[in-house]
Amino acid sequence: MKTVSRLLLVALAMSLASCVTMPERQRLMLGGRYEELTRRFDVDPASPVPIKTSDLFPVCVAYSKLKRYDKLFPCLDRLERNFKNGDKAYLDLAEMVRDNPTLGSFVNMRTGQERAAILYDVSEYAYLMRAEAFIELGDYPRAVAAAKTALKSISRGSALETRSEIQALGSLGLAYALGGDKDSAQQTLRKLETVQTTSGSGKVHQGEKMVGLARICLALADYQGGLAWLQHDDSAFIRGISDLVYGSFLRGESMWSFQQLPLKYMRNKCLLETGQVQQAKDGFDELLSNPRTQDCGEIYWMLLFDRGCIAEKEGNHENAIGFHQRAVEVIERQRSSIHTEASKIGFVGDKQGVYRHLIAALYSVKRYDSAFEYVERAKSRALVDLLASKKDFAVRAGDDKAVRTLLAAGERAETEMRGEDSSLDRSKTRGLMGVVRERLREQCPELASLVSVTALTFPDAVSLVSSDEALVEYYHSGEDLYVFVLSSGGIQAVKLDESGLVADVQALRKGLETPGPEEPGELCRKLYRRLLQPVEGSLGKPSLVIVLHGVLHYLPMNALHDGNGYLIDRYSISTMPSASAIALLRERRYAATEGMLVLGNPDLRDPRYDLPFAQQEAVNVAATRPHSRILLRGEATEGALRKFGDGYDCIHFATHGQFNSESPLTSSLLLAPDANSDGRLTVDKLYSLQLRANLVTLSACETALSKVANGDDLIGLHRGFLYAGASSILASLWRVDDLATSSLMTAFYQQLRQTNKRDALRAAQQETRKEFPHPYYWAAFQLTGNAR
């Protein structure tokens, strides 16, 4: 072992001494010049032409460091095929003999084992790159599998066996912890502890081991343990060697942003979480004083956020607001939800937590208009995060080619900002990202709102509220619950009592979904007192536009009761996903068509899903407008919607629907399968669809929500339809009664002949109440979008 180690060190020394003849791919990789490497030596992993591992490995490393996952995974697949064919070496002996005869002769004189050690088996590093990528993508089960494969692939007895084992165990423990498997994470942590680094060549890897242990501790929220390991990190030497090997020393630079910043941040984060606030404050201020901190945006915003939280503890609200606002600015420069920070510091930052703290700080100093603006931005950020992986949006305005060029430029710039190429000028990239966002807002504002945060100013929000309306917007995050009321008279903001809210909403939903002889009056009154009574003095308008949030998405606001009557008895009510959506939908009105498109009771190839009353409803609804096209059973397909959908200003679905709160983009309407579709019209598909509908009605079972859950990722089918081109959506909150719904829908379309959508729904619900008094039968439906 000692002999092999000495040989490897001699080989490394000779390589550095004769770097002028080092293969160019390796030179660029070791110099951290990943962008240049991929530009000059890009490979096609699908090519039938053999590509040696010594040529392919540096390119895969570059893709990994640049966070180009679309290129990385095919590159790793090709590497793994090489490994199966026995090609595992980092260095190519024939190339070495040709380019560096002295070193080549030296290697040729070694035994087979010594020669293999010098050329170096890189198979475990390919699997480690895969594990790190899956951690950053939040796919922890696959990260675990890749890290386990890396462990099995380690060349036992090699000079770098210890380092490989440390890295593999570190990735495995981190993936377990982030994936919620705490027991396995603890077991892996204990295995990593036993790796020998206190003597011999293992000392060189002591610092890396301590950092690996600390990351797992942070992922387990064990800050005391993380701090203990980081206190042992005496890795200045190895970081210096790393800078030398990576070539940054030769350029008079350091890989500070990508190597030292995460370590320093981790240590100060642990100090903060263990109550050593002053030391954490001093450490954070030192980091913020270094201009290179900004180069690592995924950690920079967390650093600003933590510093703001310290200001809160000190009672300095203005300082806290300043730090939190700067953190929000950094967050909003990013679209991606890639968690690059997770593999660096052991946890994923809570971006919504920044907004929550900022809104609370602004409310505490009575800056209600600014607090409202950040409520809107928080909701916009949640939508951007939800749609971060989607790329095939329909372009609803502007020049399609120009818009897609802008999207591609923005994606390239963001990838560059995430990457670890120290030779790039990130200030120029940040500027480019700003220009791209601005041009996208000019050309296609609706699409821009899905890929970047939409910032609605308070004066603009007030101007969107009609003289006969009041806008009631809720913000529910963690233990915070606020309501803002905007009207021509200004703004009122109240912090509401959040305790027990989820339980109350669950109880009301249970009472509504399983109707008995008694109406759930007390719960309806209790929730009115909690949510509306504190601001009822500001609701002096005939119509309410309500923006819900979090668990309130599950609540039928029209069924709340003030002690004298339901809310619907006093107001016409519509909802919006956000106040910003009003601006996008306000002028969206299409020319009316004579008929409507109706899809009813599709054949789902299972008699249990047949809806005979829904079929009759479809027939009745179609009869309210001449020249309607009615598609029943096997004709009610996704293909039919795509073929006929943009020819009608009103589209009605009478079918089953499903909402998946765990994966909202897979929520769907169930249509009849055909040759080109399984029949699931998902939210994800809607963002790639183009319609021209003044109204889309989702008269179906469970079209908006299923179970009560926390969070505001409940965009549901209605938001997808709004982007697809609908002006407004009428949808149900729970499984509805076929007969009552058929009656309500017929009344709604009859009313729609003589009044607007919001008032038509109110009249139809009041008429249905006469025959079916319990809110279960009439309160499920809500109108979202343009109410006119």
Q: Are strands 597-602 and 629-633 parallel, antiparallel or unpaired?
A: parallel
More confident residue, 696 or 624: 696
Q: Domain 458-584: which topology?
A: Nucleotidyltransferase; domain 5 (3.30.420)
Assigned token pair, 119: 């050329």
d(CA 756, CA 770) in angstroms, rounded, equals 22
The domain limits of the chain are 260-448, 458-584, 586-785
Strongest mean pLDDT among 366-375, 414-423, 638-647: 366-375
Right CATH for 586-785 from 3.40.50.720, 3.40.50.1460, 3.10.20.30, 3.40.50.2300: 3.40.50.1460
Residue pair 699/745 in contact by the 8 Å Cβ criterion: yes
Q: What is the mean pLDDT of the chain?
A: 83
Residue 631: the pLDDT is 94
- Cβ contacts of residue 407 below 8 Å, gap of 6+? 391, 393, 440, 447, 451
What is residue 764's three-state secondary structure? Answer: helix
Query: pLDDT value at position 122?
Result: 83
pLDDT 10s digits, 332-342: 988 777 888 88
pLDDT attached to residue 141: 96
The packing angle between helices 112-119 and 101-108, to 10°, is 140
**DSSP string for residues in 93-129:** HHHHHHH-HHHHHHHHTS-HHHHHHHH-B-HHHHHHH
Range 685-694 average pLDDT = 89
Range with top average pLDDT, 29-38, 329-338, 451-460, 647-656: 647-656
SS3 490: strand
Q: Which helix H or strand E contains 322, and what residues bound it?
A: helix 317-331
CATH class of 260-448: mainly alpha
- Least confident piece of the model among 79-88, 467-476, 652-661, 703-712: 703-712
- 118-122, 183-187, 277-281, 502-506: segment of lowest average pLDDT: 118-122
Query: What's at 215, amino acid-wise?
Result: R
Confidence of residue 20 (pLDDT cuts 50, 70, 90): very low
The residue among 638, 622, 631 whose CA lies nearest residue 600 is 631
Please answer whether residues 551 and 476 qualify as being in contact, where contact means their C-beta atoms are separated by less than 8 angstroms: yes
Element (H, E) at 777: helix 775-778
CB 58 within 8 A of CB 24: no
Tokens 């087979």 sit on residue:
112
Query: What would you report as the CA-atom Rg of the chain, rounded to the nearest whole angstrom?
Result: 30
Q: Is 498 exposed, middle or buried (0-12, 13-18, 19+ CB in 10 A)?
A: middle
The whole-number pLDDT of residue 376 equals: 94
Can you tell me the distance from the alpha carbon of 52 to that of 197, in angstroms, rounded to the nearest whole number?
A: 34
Q: How many CB atoms lie within 10 A of CB 205?
A: 22
Q: How far apart are CA 35 and CA 140, in angstroms?
A: 28
Distance CA 699, CA 691 (A): 18
Residue type, position 452, single letter: S
CA distance 704 to 652: 15
* Residue with tokens 């992922």, as numbered in its chain: 219
* Angle 239-245-247 from CA coordinates, rounded to 5°: 105
Q: Tell me: the pLDDT tens digits for 397-438?
A: 777 788 788 777 777 777 777 777 767 777 777 777 778 778
DSSP tag of 637? B
Residue 634 above 70 pLDDT? yes
Number of alpha carbons in the 13 Å side-chain half-sphere of residue 112: 0
Residue 670 pLDDT greater than 70, yes or no: yes
**Residue 758 corresponds to which amino acid?**
R
Helices vs. strands in the chain: H and E counts, helices first: 37, 14
Torsion of CA 296, 302, 308, 312, to 10 degrees: -170
C-alpha closest to that of 694 among 765, 744, 757: 757
The yes-or-no verdict on residue 378 having pLDDT over 90 is yes
Which of the four pLDDT bands, split at 50, 70 and 90, describes residue 202? low
Between CA 54 and CA 34 the distance in angstroms is: 16
pLDDT at 629: 95
Indicate the range of 89-93, 215-219, 741-745, 760-764 predicted with least confidence. Answer: 89-93
pTM of the predicted protein model: 0.88
Per-residue pLDDT, 574: 93
Q: How far apart are the first and last CA of the chain?
A: 80
Dist. CA 533–CA 152, nearest whole Å: 63
Q: How far apart are the C-alpha atoms of 279 and 442, rounded to whole Å?
A: 46
Nearest Cα to Cα of residue 356 among 27, 711, 715, 593: 711
Q: Tokens in use for 568?
A: 């619907």
Per-residue pLDDT at 448: 76
Cα–Cα separations (whole angstroms), residue 174 to 122, 123, 192, 227, 676: 22, 21, 12, 16, 41
The confidence score (pLDDT) of residue 34 equals 87
**Residue 249 structure tokens:** 């020393």
Q: How confident is the model at residue 189 (pLDDT cuts 50, 70, 90)?
A: very high
Of residues 324, 268, 331, the one with CA closest to residue 297: 331
Mean pLDDT of 730-747: 83
- With beta carbons less than 8 A apart as the criterion, state whether 465 and 471 touch: yes
- Asked if pLDDT for residue 16 goes beyond 60, the answer is no
Could you tell me which of 776, 688, 685 has the C-alpha nearest to residue 739?
A: 776
pLDDT digit string, tens, across residues 240-265? 444 444 444 333 344 556 678 898 99
